[in-house]
Structure 1
Amino acid sequence: MQLFKRVNIVILALFSTGITLTSCNNDKSPEPALSITGINPASAPVGTDITISGTEFGTSTSAVTVTFSGNVSATPKAVTSTSITTTVPAGAQDGPVTVKVGDKTVTSSTSFTLSAKAVQEVSGRITADQTWTADKVYLLKGYVYVNSGVTLTIKPGTVIKGGGKDLDPNGRAATLIITKGAKIMAEGTETQPIVFTSSKAAGSRYYGDWGGVVIAGNGTHNQITQKDFEGGIEGNLAPSASLVANDNSGVLKYVRIEFAGVALSAQANSEINGLTLYGVGSGTTIDYVQVSYSGDDSFEWFGGSVNAKHLVAYRTWDDDFDTDFGYNGKVQYALALRDPEFADQSGSNGFESDNQSGDGTNSGTAPEPYTAPVFANVSVFGTSGTPTNATIKGNGGFQSAMHLRRATSLSVFNSLFVGFPEGLRLDNATTLPSTVGNPSRMQIRKVILANVNTDVRGANGLTDTEAKTFFNTTAFANQIIAAANVSTLSLNDSNWKLDATVNFLPKTGSPLLTGAVWTDKASDSFFTKENFIGAFGTTNWTANWTNFNPQNTNYDK
């Protein structure tokens, strides 16, 4: 009996020891958790630094990602184990903030809210270097000139609003004018573009609410007598021995210009465009620029040789891309999407190009350098329905996908034009010499005209036969696609959406994805030798920085 008691005691002791040992092995402290305990300030405008408090953030800025509601990321400026300092990015919305460290993610339990930015009014002349930042909204009133020798720097995410004529004592719609010898350094980012827009509230904006952006350079042009800038803007294009082809007026990159373009006086040809470029040289950078709801042309070049890539003209009133007075730069990746109900009394076009004006200036001559830009990978979409030149809601109708006249030598490669009353109009007998020769000054290669009522025509001394013979030259590989066969192009089902759901990428297997040619003028090293026709292959270069619904965007925060 005593033996059994001793055995039981030993077993119980061992069992107790086992329990004790087991208990000790499982008594581990929980791993430190990633957490957000606060946001300070909890309400602030875009461009403001905020501090996120919490735990286990580490110390590396490159290992931390901060994402605001609206799926907009911000790069941390400083990180400690318990705090992150970052700047509220453009596009952020009210809602919680998410922090990711390595493979761990945490979302705040409270919301961050955007507050309205302070407004800084700008008028008159800028006579010394300035920097505009994203923590303010800049309100332009009247003509704002950046003087020669002065640099205006605009930081990513900055919003600039243009006031209407009613906000200026002189009755002038706000216009930012970069004069000859001045520079604008407006370099946004894909996620924080710089925005020039209407001063009116969301929902009440319209074509031509303000003037636009004008850049004047010391680049080349072909005017043999002085030509003043349109609308009473100071400056001119005049003959000079000191013109500089590679003149540098600065940078426009990841920039949007919305609701600009306005008649500046009662005189003909007295308008300002969304973006107007007078003699801007090739030292200037223009890349990723969207002009939306322009009350005149979206982009117009008067001379100069500045090159550009990634241009978007959206719901333009008049012409999408207008080239004049000896402009001879190069442009690749250009998109235009029209609202088929709005057009200008002059007849709206995708391209309009002139070597000289039609007002008698340089009459009877074809001054040099010729207007001879080279465009490649362009898509211009007029309407998915039946094209018409009738006035619907604008003050005129549509005319041509391309209206090339008055001795222009514009060239187009690997491009698509859909939905216009006319495809190509070659206008004026002085233009005919540009189409002859091997190679000719004007080169139209691998261009598709689809859903056009009249495919190719001549005008004003240049016959239909001459125009058609040029365009239909077998070696040029141009095509005409009837309205009934547009579906063979396999355009995206959302290609014609006039809102944020628009998508321009052709469907898999589309014939637009192959067959580009890069001969003659298109062999220039400026051009990336893509295989696709039109502005898009399989990459959507409009993602993140464009806005196809600017009417309803709140730019106060």
Structure 2
Amino acid sequence: MNRKKSNLLLIAVALLGLVVTSCDKNDDDTPKGTKKTVSGEISQNTLWEAKDTIILDGYVYVKSGATLTIEPGTLIKGLSDSKACLIVERGARIVANGTAEKPIVFTSDKPAGERKPGDWAGIIICGKAPINQTGGEAEVEGGTGAVYGGTDPNDNSGILRYVRIEFAGYEVSNGNEINGLTMGGVGRGTTIEYVQVSFGRDDSFEWFGGTVNAKYLISYRGGDDDFDTDNGFSGNVQFALILRGPEEADKSDASNGFESDNDANGSSNSPLTSAKFSNITILGPYATKTQANVNPNHKYGLRLRRNTRLNLYNSIIAGFNTGISLEGPSMELYNAASGPEIKNCLMAGMVKNFNAKTDGTSLTQEQYETMFSSGNNTIYAENSELQLTNAWNWGNVNAVPQSGSPALTGASFTGLTGFETVTFRGAFGTQNWAQGWTNWDPVNTNY
């Protein structure tokens, strides 16, 4: 290619909002891929190709009416110290449809061995499904200015399938953060499947209202909460694995497997946060009760507060400082007709099973035990009694139950709709759906 044609190509690419930062060559002098820096707005249909490495510089907005398509196997890196964030606005779509063989990876731009939580900000998807904020819409957390919420429960923001999100998270101010994957008012027309969020600085997954369903999620070594639900989220989530690391925890707040509120004020605003989760394996930082070097900010496996009606079925909670905390109106409604419900679950290896108190701010120990047993839940003293293959092997995780495990039976879907009916409890039966597309050591991966 002569110099004149090369310059024309660079100008054309820049006009499309992409800046070519490098172009390597194969032995036959044909391009093998480029590094393309993306910033600002994507206002027309755009394709990111697997042959290129995409660099996100600052807030990148996919505008209403535009679809961003990302090929399987594409590598996207957030530019450090730029608050790199991909924001899919209401009316826009992202089609990140990876495969098990070629997952799409969002990660840090730092070299192997130097990556850390918060190197870039994360992914935000905003939709038009209902939320419980006054006026039916709100500005999403994170200081991006993006608005979410609406009146269409079937709204479609696209596809995230076989996607990894690593080292994300940005704190604008206390309580105002960008998470690994933030979903604001996302509708059930959207597909969220096979998504792993690893080493996030804040929450791994946070749902602000909306109706989206999800399957096959992994939160690995997150900094704050793994699953956070607020503002009227009412979708179904099935098959998910949470594994916390001993050292990673929020610097100033309790870090939990689940944290759920109806809203920040604990109001009864409708729609209520009433999501249903089934077949979730929620593993805390304690492989055993004597696990060393556990950050003291690790707190609860399941924290239900501020009038939430979240429901948990056919799941495993193990290895936390405290298993379950029910607070405020949520504790008064536990296993009542309007929820929240905890049924057919296994709990093991807790330093303390319940956040029991006698001052009226939580249930007493006796009340917890009675209500927990009434939901056909079972408590084991040690994690080993669950007979999971190698669940706390940070770096090479396998949480599939062994033969004879109590997790392989006991599930019930009576009265539930929208879930796949299986016999096992927790994320896995005899098949390991996390195999092949996940990464348990992204710190040291050569990208």
Runs of 4+ in 1 over 6 A off after TM superposition: 387-391
Aligned ranges 1:38-437 → 2 under 5 Å: 117-165=33-81, 168=82, 173-224=83-134, 227-237=138-148, 243-263=151-171, 265=172, 267-344=173-250, 345-358=252-265, 365-382=267-284, 383-386=286-289, 392=295, 397-428=297-328, 430-435=329-334, 437=336
Instruction: Classify 1:326/1:352 alpha carbon distance in 2 versus 1 (closer, same or farther; 3 Å).
Output: same
For residues 222-277 of structure 1, give each alpha carbon's deviation from its aligned partner in whole angstroms, at most 9, with x where no partner exists.
11256432231112356xxx5111110000001000110121x2x22111110000
Residue 370 and residue 389 in structure 1: after superposition, are their counterparts in 2 closer, same or farther (change >3 A)?
Answer: farther
Give a deviation string over 1:78-136, Cα, whole Å, max 9, x none.
xxxxxxxxxxxxxxxxxxxxxxxxxxxxxxxxx9xxx9741000000111110001000
Q: Give the Cα separation in 2 of the matches to 1:479 and 1:327.
A: 28
SS of the equivalent of 1:121 reads: strand
Tell me: higher relative CO, structure 1 or 2? Use CA pairs within 8 A at least 6 residues apart: 2
SS in 2 for 1:209: coil
Distance 1:220 1:133, change over 3 A: same
- Please give the alpha-carbon distance, in whole angstroms, between the structure 2 residues aligned to 1:181 and 1:489: 45
Q: Percent identity?
A: 45
CA distance in 1, matches of 2:355, 2:268: 22
Deviations 1:370-391 (A, max 9, x none): 1011001110111212278987
Distance 1:261 1:470 in 2: 39
User: In structure 2, the residue corresponding to 1:317 is in which secondary structure?
Assistant: coil
C-alpha distance in structure 2 between counterparts of 1:203 and 1:189, whole Å? 26
Deviations 1:491-532 (A, max 9, x none): 21x221111x32221111212111111122xx21x2111111
Match of 2:421 in 1: 529
Q: 2:142 touches 2:170 (CA, 8 Å); kept in 1?
A: no
Separation in 1, partners of 2:366, 2:309: 16
CA distance in 2, matches of 1:199, 1:250: 26
CA distance in 2, matches of 1:124, 1:230: 19
Are residue 478 (structure 1) and residue 377 (structure 2) matched?
Answer: yes
How much has 1:409 moved relative to structure 2?
0.5
* Change over 3 Å in CA distance of 1:517–1:300 after alignment to 2: same
Q: Which string of whole-angstrom CA distances, capped at 9 and with x for unpartnered residues, describes residues 304-331 of structure 1?
A: 0100000000111111111000000000
What TM-score do you get using the length of structure 2 for normalisation?
Answer: 0.88
Matched, 1:504 2:420: no
How far, CA to CA, are the matches of 2:189 and 2:288 in structure 1? Answer: 42
Give distance in 1, aligned partners of 2:218 and 2:239.
9
2:223 partner amino acid: W
Deviations 1:270-317 (A, max 9, x none): 111100000000000000000000000100000001000000001111
What is the aligned partner in structure 2 of residue 75 from structure 1? Answer: none
Residue 547 (structure 1) aligned with residue 439 (structure 2) = yes
Q: How many residues align?
A: 414
Post-superposition offset of 1:463: 2.9
Query: In the aligned structure 2, how far is the partner of 1:153 from the partner of 1:221?
Result: 27
Distance 1:467 1:217 in 2: 40
Greater C-alpha radius of gyration = 1
Kept after mapping to 1: 8 A contact 2:90/2:147: no
Q: Distance in 1 between matches of 2:319 and 2:384?
A: 13
Q: Are the equivalent residues in 1 in contact too, given 2:95–2:158 (CA < 8 A)?
A: yes
CA apart distance, 1:436:
5.4
Q: Does structure 2 retain, via aligned residues, the 8 Å contact 1:427–1:458?
A: no
Counterpart Cα distance in 1 of 2:364 and 2:219: 29
SS at match of 1:231: coil
**Residues 1:275 and 1:389: Cα distance change in structure 2 (over 3 Å):** farther
- Per-residue deviation, 1:533: 1.1
In 1, distance between residues paired with 2:366 and 2:33? Answer: 59
TM-score of the aligned structures, taking structure 1 as reference length: 0.71
Q: Is the 1:291–1:298 contact (alpha carbons within 8 Å) kept by the matching residues of 2?
A: yes
For 1:18, the equivalent position in structure 2 comes to none
CA offset digits 1:337-393 (Å, max 9, x no partner):
1111221121110000000114xxxx6x3111110110011101112122789874x
Q: Which residue of 1 aligns with 2:339?
A: 441
1:453-499 CA-to-partner distances (Å, cap 9, x unmatched) read 2212357733325851563243x11111113xx3222121x221111
Q: d(CA) in 1 for partners of 2:203 and 2:291?
A: 20
SS of residue matched to 1:375: strand
Q: Greater shift after overlay, 205-214 or 333-342?
A: 333-342
For 1:323 and 1:458, the matched residues in 2 are separated by 23
